[in-house]
Amino acid sequence: MVAAGIMAAGITSTLIALQMGIGMYENARSADIAVQALEDEAERLRLLNWAELKALPDEANFDMPTYLIDAKTDPDRFTFHRKIEDLNGSDAAKRIRLHVEWHSMKGRHQERMLYLIYTEGGLYDYFYGSA
């Protein structure tokens, strides 16, 4: 009887540990997908010249890149947002905030942000030119 009780406690603790491990794996996977999507959008913006960047709306949502969507990824779970504003009141420098929000398996609110600074006549404007 004592052995059965010890065995039941061992099996129960193993199942709890397994469930916690799966939850932590899913949270890490979701965070990785979110950061990859932010970095993808950052690279897309870096390829724009100054005129193209200025033509973007000040605030907009953007979608998850299709290469990140697979059978295990629900793209509707993530909300991506981009905000572009003048840096220190100067029209020659822009601060770009990329933001993603989602909920974990346990329903906890999660978010990540990435900030970029883009300047007129900067590196990318030099390579691609301003129209």
% of the chain surpassing 70 pLDDT: 92
Question: Could you report the per-residue pLDDT of 53-71, keeping only the tens digit for each?
Answer: 999 999 999 988 888 887 7
**Concatenated DSSP letters for 6-50?**
HHHHHHHHHHHHHHHHHHHHHHHHHHHHHHHHHHHHHHHHHTS-H
pLDDT over 80 at 72, yes or no: no
* Domain coordinates in residue numbering, the chain: 2-128
pLDDT over 60 at 40, yes or no: yes
What's the whole-number mean pLDDT along residues 101-107?
A: 87
Q: What is the rounded average pLDDT for all residues in the chain?
A: 87
